[in-house]
Amino acid sequence: MASTCPAVLIAAPASGQGKTTVSAALARLHTRQGRRVRVFKCGPDFLDPYWLALASGAPVHQLDLWMTGEADCRARLQQAAQDADLLIVEGVMGLFDGDPSAADLAQRLGLPVLAVIDASAMAGTFGALAFGLQHYRPGLRWAGVVANRVASERHASMLQDGLRDEPDHPSLWLGALMRNPALALPERHLGLTVASEVGDAMARLDAAADALAATPLGQMSTTDLQRWAVTLGVDACAVNTVPPLLQGRTIAVARDAAFCFIYQANLDALLELGAELVFFSPLADAAVPVCDAVWLPGGYPELHADVLSRQHACRDSLHAHVAQGKPVWAECGGMMLLFESLTMADGFTHAMWGLLPGQVTMQKRLAGLGPQQLVWKEQTLRGHTFHYSVCHTPLAVITRTSRPDTIPTFDAGEALYVQGSVRASYFHAWFASNPEVAAQLFLPPVP
C-alpha cells in the first residue's frame, strides 16, 4: 500500500550549519498550528532526536540506507505518512558527505531537499553555494534554501539577491533566520545536550519556531506543502515476520541521564520479539528490577561517575543478577560502567561496578567513530561506534566488529567481550537490522 504526504529532507553544506534548529523549528511551528508532524533523523545519531521528538510530540526514528536499510526506511516513512500532515527528515553532516549520504537517501526515496546555510560570514558566495548544492548531483528534488545566522535585513537582501532564479525554481529563497543566541541548542563532547536536561528547551524551540514563522518557509500553508508531496510504498516481500524468540522474558533497560542512547526502534524490536520491558535508573534506583536479562545502553557515565561510584546497592543487585547466570548486554557507556574504574580526562579516577576486570580512560579526542557490523554465529548485526574513551582489560576478545563490507580482523573494529553471562562492547547495535541476532544478546549463553 502506498501513502502520499508532504515530506522534506533538511540538509546543509556541512555540520554545524543549523540543520537541527531549522528541523525542530519547522516541526514545532506546524505542530503548534495543529498539524500532525513526524520527524526522522538521517544516520545513527542518538541526540538530535531528543530535540526533534520534543518539537513534534512524536517518536523519532533513524533512517540510514546502510545501518537500517532502504526497506526499513521506506516502511517507517510509509507508516508515518498514513497519519501525518508533514514528514521532516533531518540530514547528517554535509548533504553529500558519507557513503551512503543524506543526498543518497533523498534521491532513493524522492525527498525534496531544503538546504540550511550558515551565512554569517558571506554575501554573494551564498548564491554560489546554494547553486552548487542544488546542481552538484542531477536528479535531486529541490525545495529551496534558508540562510541561517544572518546579521541584518540588509544582509538577508544581499544573500537573496545572490540566488539565481531558474524556470523550475523561481522562488528558491525560503527566508533568513537572524543571528540570535536564544535559538542556539546547547552542545557538549558527543553532540547536542539531551533536551530533557535543558530547563528552557521548549522555550528555545518556541523562539526558533517564532523566528521561522516570519520567513517564507514558515508561512507555507497546507496547500503550499503539497509541492513537497512524496508517494511512499513498501515492498511486501521486504517485510519480515519477527519470531517471538524473547516471548515470556522480561528485559530491564537502564534509562536515565547517564544511559540515554536508546533507539526507539530497538525498544520496538524487543517488543516485537515478545519481550516485556521494564526500566530502571542506575543513578537513582536501589536495585535492578526482577528480570530475565539486563540491557545497559550507551550514554554519559563519565558525566555522572561520582554518583555511579556510590550506587552500591544497585551495583550489588546487578552482581546478583549475573551470579544467577542471567544475561547482560552492555554497549559503550553501559560497558564502561561494568569495568573496575573510570579515569577522567583530568586524571581523577572513580570506582565503577567491577563486573569486568580492567579500567576505562577518557581522552579528549575520538577513539571510535563510524558504521560497524557484528558477525555473530554467521549472521550480521549492524550498528555504529562513537566514543571518547578506551578500555584496558585482560579479557579475551571474542570477536571484533568491522566496517561495512569488510572482513573482521583482530587489530581493527570494536572488541566484543564475554565473561559469564555478560556480553559487552563499544558497538551500538541496531536491533532491527537482525532481530534474531539481537535476541541472542538477551538469552543465556549456550554451554
Q: Is the peptide bond before 100 cis (omega within 30 degrees of 0)?
A: yes
Burial class of residue 11 in the structure, from the number of CB atoms within 10 Å of its CB (0-12 exposed, 13-18 middle, 19+ buried): buried
- Length of the chain, in residues: 447
Condensed to tens digits (0 to 9), the pLDDT of residues 303-358 reads 999 999 999 999 999 999 999 999 999 999 999 999 999 999 899 999 999 999 99
Distance CA 180, CA 194 (A): 21
pLDDT at 199: 74
* Predicted confidence band of residue 2 (pLDDT cuts 50, 70, 90): confident
Residue 171: per-residue pLDDT: 63
Instruction: Spell out a b/e string for 249-286, using b for 16 or more CB atoms within 10 Å of the CB, else e.
Output: bebbbbbbbbbbbbbebbbebbebbebeeeebebbebe
Are 398 and 412 a contacting pair, CB within 8 Å?
Answer: no
Compute the distance between CA of residue 277 and CA of residue 297 in angstroms, rounded to an integer: 14
Domain 250-440 has CATH 3.40.50.880: yes
Catalytic residue selected from 5, 260, 291, 332: 332
Taken in order 413, 417, 421, 426, is the CA torsion positive or negative? negative
Cβ-contact 64, 44 below 8 angstroms: yes
From CA 409, how far away is CA 232, in angstroms rounded? Answer: 39
Mark whether 391 is an active-site residue.
no
Domain 3-236 has CATH 3.40.50.280: no
Q: How far is the C-alpha of 295 from the C-alpha of 150, rounded, in Å?
A: 45
pLDDT of residue 297: 98
CATH 3.40.50.880 location in the chain: 250-440
- pLDDT tens, 62-101? 999 999 999 999 999 999 999 999 999 999 999 999 999 9
- pTM summary value: 0.93
Distance CA 395, CA 417 (A): 7
Summarised one tens digit per residue, pLDDT across range 248-306 is 999 999 999 999 999 999 999 999 999 999 999 999 999 999 999 999 999 999 999 99
pLDDT at site 192:
62
For residue 191, CA distances in Å to 13, 173, 300, 414 come to 18, 29, 11, 21
Q: Where in the chain is the domain with CATH 3.40.50.300?
A: 3-236
Q: Does residue 412 surpass a pLDDT of 90?
A: no
What is the pLDDT, as a whole number, of residue 3? 87
| Mean pLDDT score across all residues of the chain | 92
